[in-house]
Every structure is written in structure tokens, then in C-alpha cells.
Amino acid sequence: MAGVATVSTVQVPRERRQFFGWFALLFLIASQITAILISPPDRDMGDLQKIMYVHVPAAWMTMLAPLTVLFFSVRYLFRKREEDDLLASSAAEVAVAFAGLTLMLGMLWARPTWGIWWTWDARLTSTLVLFLILAGYLSVRALIDDREQRAQWSAAVGIMGALNVPIVYMSVRWWRTIHQIQSSPSTVDPAYVIGLRLNAFAFLFVMIYFIRRRYDAALMERAAEHASEAAALGVVQ
Amino acid sequence: MSLRKEWRRARAIAWKDLTAERRSKAQFNGVVTLAVTILVMLGFALGPDAEAIRNAAAGAIWLAALFAGVLAFNRSYQMELDGGALEQLVLYPGSRRAIFAGKLLANFVFVGLMLVVVVAVGIVLFQVRIPAQWPALIAILFLGALGLVTLGTFYAAMASRSRARDVLLPLLLFPMLVPVLLAAMEATKALLGSNVMGDAGAWARLLIVFDVIFLTATFLVFESVIEV
Amino acid sequence: MSEASGTPLAAIDATGVARRFGTTWVLRGVTLRVAPGEVVGLLGANGSGKSTLLRILSTLLRPHAGTARIAGHDVVRASHDVRSQVGFLAHSPALYADLTARENIAFAATMLDRAESDIESVLDRVGLMAAAERQVRGLSAGMQRRLALARLILMRPRVLLLDEPYSNLDPEGIQLMNALIAEWVADGAAALVVLHELAPAANVLHRTVTIVDGRIEAERAAHLSLAAGGK
């Protein structure tokens, strides 16, 4: 008589997931090696420039991931399905990781190049703000115990945060321009483009893989929660 | 629900908030005093060199308004939580947007008044001259306060009801306010610094765009946040 | 259930309603039906979920299992329709302490889209005209309860959900509450009243139900409950 709402835990065949994971990893390794081998050392930075092949794609993914959060958050508010909430939060967690990576590499690059750890340049600063926005999103999830309220509020926070990403970037860049600070060295030297493009795709595949893995774990957790709740209620699921 | 009825509801909510505030008084005086204290602290941190202080004036004013304003936003929902009034508020017919509009309006008046005091004190403490284009300054204060209050009212609807409300509100709000604060600070800096009027204009236009975006987005999303 | 089939639409129709807090199930499958014109008392030990059930029926909380309908409207899918029918009297008065009694009612009147004249009439009805200009902060608990009652009248509810409405009321207040309930019910409204003790409501109740272990355990006609000891 009393039914318990359950997540339709789709059991994705393990092999497919693993296959994609291996593919992404191998593609990444191949892209990194290719990029490192085919690009000449930079005039000023020498081989340190190679760090760009991780830093820049990571930065791009950091901008892309919030879009994922936005999409699934909006979908959650309309459809109210737990899967959408879990997808949004998985994307957010992966986004935080990529943001952290971008920031660390940015600092590792800046120090030998300009002698300082932080330059307040537009991209890096925006990434830092995005990192904080995502940290706020995760705090909301950590602090709220009620599942529905957590999903609703996360969706709201995720939507607002994602909307703000381009706005933050634009305003920080304008801020830098107004004060006539020199912008950071551009990365459009044609010798580097192929390497960057290759690695951009590699990072995209890796990010998708991470999000899906995280989502799978979340689904399993949620299914277990539902099962134990149903058991506590005394209902056969 | 007709727009005029919604506006009446919003106005009633704003009036209720402001009346309760006026009668209890404690909050406004406390918040303003705190803002002034922050200004003084910032003065110590950045001064006493006259040049440094003058350059920091715009930033200090907005930061003081921000830190003190955070208290105002949580307090606006506190009165609903105290008696369990929020539940009743939510059960009334009509759109949730009227609730948001009403609280936003009340917070705007509150923060606006606070900002006036902060600017006055800031001009004195940080040794800036009242700019010739002071109407433009008022416009910037208006626009900046609007952005601040929009996002503050939105996030406080959640933070005030969570366990870690004092930490959660700044944590959520401050990163979101970066664009608005940058624009407001830069425009204020330009006006107080007596030069480049053009700069202030560009930032003001940006501020308007930000305000419109954030107002629209928060109005659309508020419903998911206020339901208990 | 439809009008067409000849059976009247239940005012309150709950089936298998369940709700958990964290990992504990408070309500474990509540099935309850209240017809228009009925007054049902809801009894149960402290923490048995009486208030939770009322909150679910008033759309403040969602059920984690089961369904509930108020006057035919689903509490989850048609919550706005439910809210226009329901009058919810919470256990705490839910008033604004710094506003006067009249201001509180005036606010409610605006939110409910009622006329100005209604403000005076409800204040008069609950006997608060003399205290109308006093801040709620300075009113006794009993007077606050009356004020909440005045607001309830403004709602013109078809379905009443009352959570321990008699607490803090003096004998006059109890009489007032019962008179109002009788009026509403005569008009076709239904009422579900959470009670700690039966005595104040004895004359208006038609029957009582008891929540035990998260489910409706016993249904008795009111006079039988009283005879059995009133709890």
C-alpha cells in the first residue's frame, strides 16, 4: 500500500564505463605526449611553457562544467527527478577539482615566470571566484539534511552561480583593462594551437568520465538509502 | 493573480518589515554603528598616509556597507522565523514573487539609509572631497545597493534557515557580488577621484546590466527557495 | 471519488501518507478520511506525528509516500488550490511581535485580499477590539491565540486544520473557538483538530482517531472516547 519513491537505478554495464575510462586516459596521455613533442620551447619560458597543455584545458573545463551544473539544475527544478540533482552535484564536484587544478598550475607557472605566485590576471582571478562559488554550492549540500530541500536549494544556487560565471569573467577583465595592466601572455602562437586543441578534447573526455563515475557512485548511494528507508518503513521494494 | 494585487501584497510586506524595524530600532542602529566601526578599522589598516587613504575610500565604503549589510539580510527573515510566521506567509494565496519583492524593497530602504551614513562618514574619514557630480554618485549608490540587496535578499532566504547561517550567507553572497562590487567600487572611485567621468559612466552602464540580470534571475528562481 | 457517482467528495482524503525525518519514519502510512461537515479529533502521544500530518495536509511538507487530497486537490500537485481552501492554525501563533494586533490582521487581510471592514469585524468577533492597538509582544498567550483565530476567520476556510487550538485559551476563549467551529461546520466545512485532551472539544467533535506508531490505530465516536477516559 505505501510505496516508496525510488531512483530508477539504471545498472549501466560495467564494461562500457570502463572502456570509456581507458579510452579517455589513453587519449590524454597521447595528447600530452604529442603536444610536448611537437611544440618548440617558448622564447621566454622555455620548457615551462609545456605546463600550459594542462593548465589551459583545465581552465576551459572549469568554465564548461558550470554549464553542466546549470543544465541539470534547471532540469531538476522542472522535473524534480533525483537523477538530475545527482548529476548536477557530480558535475559541481568535478568542477571544483578542475578549478583547483587550474589555480595550482597557474601559480606554478607564474612563480618562475614572473617571480610572484599570483598576478590577479583576469582568467586566474575569475577561476578563483568560480572556485569560491562552487565551494558555496558544496557547502549548501553539506549543510542541508533534508533531501528535497537540499536538491531545491542546490539547484537554485547552482543556477545563479553558473549564470554569474561569464559575468564575473567580463567584469574582472574590464577591471584589469581599465587600470591598464598588461594582459597575460597570449596563447595563440600557432605552434601551440594543435597541442591545445588536442588536449582540450582529452580533458573533455576525462571530465565526462569523472562526472559519470561520480554520478554512478551517487546513484548507488541513493539506491542504498532508498532501500534502507523502505526496509525501515516495512515495505518490500 | 493580477499585478496590482501582487504589488499591494509586496508593499504590505515591505511596510510590515520596515514598521517592525522602526519599532524595534535595535537592528538599524546596530548595523550602522558596525558599518562605521568597519570603516574606522579599514582606516587603520590602510592609513595614515593621505594618498593611500584617499585611493582606498571607494573600496572601504563599499566593503563596510557589504559586511554590515550581511547582517541586515538575515535579519529580514529572522522576524518570520521567530514566531513561525514564515509558514503562514507561504500559505497565503498569490505569487511567491510578491514576498521577494516586498522583502527586497524593505532591505533596499534599510541598506540605502545605511549606505548614506557610511558614505558621509567615509568622505570625512578618508579625506575625499564631495564630488561636483554628487547626483551621479547618488545614482551609483542606488544601483550598487540594488545589486547588493537583490542578491542578499535572495541568498538570505536560504541561509537564514540553515544551521550555519552566519557563515553561509557571506560564503554564498560574496563571490556572487564580485561583478556588482567591482562596478560600484570603480565607479565610486572614479567619481571621488575627481577625474575620468567617462569611466564612471561605463561602469554605471555595466552596473545597470548586472542589476537587470540579477533581478530577473532571482525573481525567476525565488519560488524554489522560499517553499518550506 | 466524484460528485457524479453520488458519493460526496471527501474534504480530507489521505491514503498511506508517510514521512520521515532523517532516517526515522514518523508517519508510516496514515489513511484518513474526513467528510464535509465533520469534525474529527486527532489524538496521539507526543512526537507521534500529529503536527507533521497536519503540515502535510496543509501543503507545508511533502509526503514521502502516499497521497493526500484536500477537497479533491492533490496536496503536492495542486498545492495552490489546496491553500485557497485550507485554514491552518499552527501551534505557535505565527504573529509579528512588533506590530499591533490590528496591524497583524490588516496585513493578513491584504494578503488574503479581504476588505478593510473585515478587519474590524473579526477583531470584534474574537473580543480584541480593546487591545487592538497593543503590540503583539505585549499580549498574553491567550490573546495571541485569539488573534490567530481572527486571522483564521479571515481565511474563510473550507477545510480546517487546527493544531492544539485550545491551548492557552480561557473558558470564554474555548467557547468562542467551539462556536466558530460549529459555524464553519454548519456551513459545510470540515475540521481536523489535533488535541491533547478531549474535554474542551467534546461538544463539537464527531469522532476521534489516534495515531499510534505512525498509523491511524483507533477510530471512535467522540462520546465513546470521553467515556473511555478522554485521552
ipTM for the assembly: 0.92
Give the mean pLDDT of A33-42.
75
The DSSP symbol for B219 reads H
C-alpha cell at C231: 485521552
Cα–Cα distance measured from residue C70 to residue B60, given in angstroms and rounded to the nearest whole number: 55
B20–C107 C-beta distance less than 8 A: no
User: Of B159, B157, B171, B146, which Cα lies nearest the Cα of B223?
Assistant: B157
Indicate the residue of A129, A136, A174 with minimum beta-carbon distance to B171.
A136
Express each pLDDT in C140-188 by its tens digit: 999 999 999 999 999 999 999 999 999 999 999 999 999 999 999 999 9
The model's confidence at residue C22, banded by pLDDT at 50, 70 and 90, is confident
C113: chain B residues, CB-CB within 8 Å = 5, 93-94
Q: List all residues of chain A from 128 to 157 with a beta carbon under 8 Å from chain C.
A: 145, 148
CA distance B211 to chain A (A): 11
The model's confidence at residue B82, banded by pLDDT at 50, 70 and 90, is confident
B24: chain C residues, CB-CB within 8 Å = 98
C64: chain A residues, CB-CB within 8 Å = 4-5, 229
Pick C1 or A31 by higher pLDDT.
A31
Whether the predicted pLDDT of A8 surpasses 70: no
CA distance B82 to chain A (A): 20
Give the mean pLDDT of A143-171.
94
Whether the predicted pLDDT of A33 surpasses 90: no
**Shortest CA distance from C21: residue in chain A:** A146
Residue B54 exposure: Cα atoms within 13 Å on the Cβ side: 13
CA distance B11 to chain A (A): 25
C16: chain A residues, CB-CB within 8 Å = 1-3
Whether the predicted pLDDT of A15 surpasses 60: no
Which range has the worst mean pLDDT, A19-28, B91-100, C147-156? A19-28
User: Of A135, A126, A110, which Cα lies nearest the Cα of A185?
Assistant: A110
The model's confidence at residue A237, banded by pLDDT at 50, 70 and 90, is very low
Percent of chain B with pLDDT over 70: 97
C110: chain B residues, CB-CB within 8 Å = 8-9, 12
Whether the predicted pLDDT of A183 surpasses 70: no
Q: List all residues of chain C from 39 to 78 with a beta carbon under 8 Å from chain A.
A: 62, 64-66
CA distance A98 to chain B (A): 18
Whether the predicted pLDDT of B150 surpasses 60: yes
CA distance A68 to chain C (A): 28
Give the mean pLDDT of A11-26.
72
C64–A5 C-beta distance less than 8 A: yes
Whether the predicted pLDDT of B19 surpasses 70: yes
Instruction: State the CB neighbour count (10 A cutoff) for residue C74.
Output: 15
Cα–Cα distance measured from residue C123 to residue C105, given in angstroms and rounded to the nearest whole number: 8
B228 touches chain C (CB under 8 A): yes
Amino acid C226: pLDDT: 59
Cα–Cα distance measured from residue C82 to residue C47, given in angstroms and rounded to the nearest whole number: 26
